[in-house]
Structure 1
Amino acid sequence: MNTSLRPQRLRRVQLAVPGSSEKMIRKAAASDADHVFLDLEDAVAPSQKVEARKNVVEALNTLDWGKKTRCVRINDLSTKYTYEDIITVVSGARENVDTLMLTKVKSVSDVLFADTLLRQLEETLGLTKRIGLEALIEEVEGLQNVEEIAKSCDRLEALIFGMGDFSASMGVLIKPDGKVGPYPGDVWHYSRFRMVMACRAAGIDPVDGPYADFRDPEGYTEECSRSLTLGCVGKWALHPAQIPLAIDVFTPDADVVSRARKLAAAYDEASKQGLGAINFEGTVVDLASIRMFGAILKQADLIGM
Structure 2
Amino acid sequence: MSNKYAPRPNRLRRSELSTPGSSEKMIAKAATSDADFVFLDLEDAVAPTEKEASRAKIVAGLNEQDWGKKTRSVRINGVHTQWCHGDVIEVVTGAGANLDVIIIPKVKSPRDVWFVDDLLTQLETKLGLEVGRIGLELLIEETEALACVEDIAGCSPRLEAIILGVGDLSASQGIRAGHIGGGDGYPGDMWHYARNRMIVAARANGIDAIDGPYGDFKDPEGYRQQAMWSTTLGAVGKWCIHPSQIEICNEVYAPTASEIEKATAVVAAVRDAEENGLGAANLDGVMIDAATARIFEGVLERAQQCGLVS
Instruction: Give the TM-score normalised by the residue count of structure 1.
Output: 0.94
Look up the equivalent residue of 1:150 and give its one-letter code: A
Mapped partners of 1:218, 1:119: distance in 2: 43
Mapped partners of 2:179, 2:129: distance in 1: 47
| Map of 1:295 onto structure 2 | 298
Look up the equivalent residue of 1:267 and give its one-letter code: V
**Residue of structure 2 aligned with 1:136, choices 136, 139, 147:** 139
Mapped partners of 1:131, 1:147: distance in 2: 22
Mapped partners of 1:198, 1:270: distance in 2: 34
**Residue of structure 1 aligned with 2:65, choices 58, 63, 72:** 63
Q: 1:300 offset after TM fit, Å?
A: 1.0
| Map of 2:123 onto structure 1 | 121
**Aligned-pair identity (%):** 53
Q: 1:67 offset after TM fit, Å?
A: 0.7
Structure 2: gaps of 5 or more residues: none
Q: 1:285 offset after TM fit, Å?
A: 3.1
Using the TM superposition, name which of 11-20 and 293-302 deviates more: 293-302
Look up the equivalent residue of 1:213 and give its one-letter code: D
Mapped partners of 1:237, 1:197: distance in 2: 22
Q: 1:119 offset after TM fit, Å?
A: 1.6
Residues 1-305 of structure 1 aligned to structure 2 (within 5 Å): 1-2=2-3, 5-128=7-130, 130-175=133-178, 179-180=182-183, 182-268=185-271, 270-271=273-274, 274-280=277-283, 283-305=286-308
**CA-to-aligned-CA distance 1:1-29 (integer Å, 9 cap, x gap):** 23961111111110000000111111110
Compared CA separation, residues 180 and 54, structure 1 to 2 (3 A): same
Two-structure CA RMSD over aligned residues (Å)? 2.0
Q: 1:237 offset after TM fit, Å?
A: 0.6
Compared CA separation, residues 280 and 188, structure 1 to 2 (3 A): closer
Q: 1:177 offset after TM fit, Å?
A: 9.8
Q: How many residue pairs are counted as aligned between the two chains?
A: 305
Mapped partners of 1:70, 1:109: distance in 2: 25
Q: Are 2:72 and 2:98, in contact at CA under 8 Å, matched by a contact in 1?
A: yes
Q: 1:284 offset after TM fit, Å?
A: 3.5
**CA-to-aligned-CA distance 1:55-103 (integer Å, 9 cap, x gap):** 1111111101111111100100110111111111111112211100010
Q: Are 2:142 and 2:172, in contact at CA under 8 Å, matched by a contact in 1?
A: yes
Look up the equivalent residue of 1:209 and give its one-letter code: G
Instruction: Give the TM-score normalised by the residue count of structure 2.
Output: 0.92
Structure 1: gaps of 5 or more residues: none
Q: Are 1:5 and 1:155, in contact at CA under 8 Å, matched by a contact in 2?
A: no
Using the TM superposition, name which of 150-159 and 295-304 deviates more: 295-304
Mapped partners of 2:89, 2:160: distance in 1: 20
Using the TM superposition, name which of 242-251 and 2-11 deviates more: 2-11
Using the TM superposition, name which of 286-295 and 185-194 deviates more: 286-295
Mapped partners of 1:143, 1:259: distance in 2: 36
SS state at 1:100 partner: strand
Mapped partners of 2:48, 2:201: distance in 1: 33
**CA-to-aligned-CA distance 1:171-230 (integer Å, 9 cap, x gap):** 111348995463222211111111011111111111000000111111111111111111
Look up the equivalent residue of 1:233 and give its one-letter code: V
Mapped partners of 1:61, 1:272: distance in 2: 54
Q: Are 2:182 and 2:215, in contact at CA under 8 Å, matched by a contact in 1?
A: no
Mapped partners of 2:173, 2:48: distance in 1: 25
SS state at 1:5 partner: coil
Using the TM superposition, name which of 40-49 and 167-176 deviates more: 167-176
